[in-house]
Every structure is written in C-alpha cells, then in structure tokens.
Amino acid sequence: MIVELSVAIIAIAFAALAVYLITLIQKVKGTLTQTENTLQDVQKQADHVMKESEILLQKVNAITNDVNEKIHSVDGLVNSVKHVSEAVSEATASFKEASATVSNTVKSNVRQAVHKRGSAIGDTIKWAQHTLDLWAIWKNKRTESDEPKRNLK
C-alpha cells in the first residue's frame, strides 16, 4: 500500500509538473511572439529612418556643393576688390606725390618771385596802404560835411 500510494503521489506530482511546464512554455511562446513583432516593427522603422537619412544626406551634399560653388565665385570678386583697392592705393600715393611736387614747385616759384620782385611788392603794399589811408580821410571828411546838412533837416 505504501508503494501504491507513493506511485500515485509521484504520478500526481508528474502531472502537476507537466501542467506547469506546458503553461510556462505557452507564456514563453507568447513572449517570443511579442518580441518577434517588436523586432519586425523596429526593422520597419529602421528601414524608414535609413531612407530618410539617405535623402537628408543627399540634400546636405547638394547644399554643401552649392555653398562651395558660391564661395568659389565670391573668391573671384574678393580678388577683384583687392586689386581695385591696390590700384586706388597706388593712385592715391601718386596723387600725393604729384600734389607735393606741385606744392613745392609753387612755393619755390613764389619765393623766387618775392626774392626777385621783393622791392616792387613792398612798394605795392605801401601804395595800397597809402590808398586806404586816403580813402579813410576822404570818408571822414565827407561824413563831417554831411553832418551839418542832417542837422538842418
């Protein structure tokens, strides 16, 4: 009887173990199914992101090429402006030199003229001063002669 009871307990334990394992295997199968679905969704999303990344990379490359072309075209303009600036600087320097030369020549000629005609210039200045003095005297006399006429009115 003990052997029969032991065999019955072992049979019940084995049946319980089998039921537990079947339940566990079904849960693992469900988890694996969910994992597979998730991986498929991730794969789809990764493919979509990859396509968008490729498109974005192509656009970035196109913009980079466009910017490079514009930079190269501006380089020519910058070089032209540099050359114009150098030409203007050279012209300014030449103009300064010419101006200094003309100024020095005029000063030299004026000095020579003053030196040669110094007495004539002095005489002219004296005559101009005498003329101004005479004019002032004439003006004063005229003003004095006009005052009695004003008083009569």
DSSP symbols for 62-118: HHHHHHHHHHHHHHHHHHHHHHHHHHHHHHHHHHHHHHHHHHHHHHHHHHHHHHHTH
CA atoms of 129 and 144, how far apart (whole Å): 23
Length of the chain: 153
Give the pLDDT score at 38: 94
CA atoms of 137 and 39, how far apart (whole Å): 121
| Most distant CA pair in the chain, distance | 177
Instruction: Please name the residues in contact with 114: beta carbons below 8 A apart, sequence gap of 6 or more.
Output: 121
Residue type, 97: E
- The rounded radius of gyration (Å) of the Cα atoms in the chain is 58
Give the pLDDT score at 107: 76
In this prediction the pTM is 0.40
The structure tokens listed for 82 are: 């540099």
Flag residues of the chain having pLDDT under 70: 114-115, 117-119, 121, 146-153
- How far is CA 101 from its chain centroid? 42
Instruction: Please name the residues in contact with 52: beta carbons below 8 A apart, sequence gap of 6 or more.
Output: none
